[in-house]
Amino acid sequence: MQIVDSPGRFGNLIRARRQALGLTQRDLALAVNVGERFIVDLEGGKPTCQLGKALAVARGVGLRLTDGEAAPAAPTGGAEAYPDLPDPGGEA
């Protein structure tokens, strides 16, 4: 498992997977419906790339993003779940 903690590392991982699949940047762009320039920027580690498009590209090369930990039990909701926030069901 590789830790992705920067746009540069994410871009490197995308590039490596794309190349392992034998895809050009253009092939990948067409496959996931983004511009080729977006792929170039993403692989280059551009920090302002749009997250939705970046996730589509990741899916396109078979990557799944996870926090690496087991999911905690879902909160029951209300003020007890998020004590620092107002209860959306009650008065603020």
pLDDT tens-digit series, residues 40-79: 999 999 999 999 999 999 999 999 888 777 555 544 554 4
- Identify the structural domains of the chain with CATH numbers, from first to last: 7-60 (1.10.260.40)
Residue bearing the bigger pLDDT, 10 or 73: 10
For 20-34, what is each residue's pLDDT tens digit?
999 999 999 999 999
Asked if residue 5 has pLDDT above 80, the reply is: yes
| Predicted local distance difference test score (pLDDT) of residue 92 | 44
**Rounded-to-integer distance, Cα 68 and Cα 47, Å:** 22
- Mean pLDDT (whole number) for 78-91: 52
Task: With beta carbons less than 8 A apart as the criterion, state whether 43 and 71 touch.
Answer: no
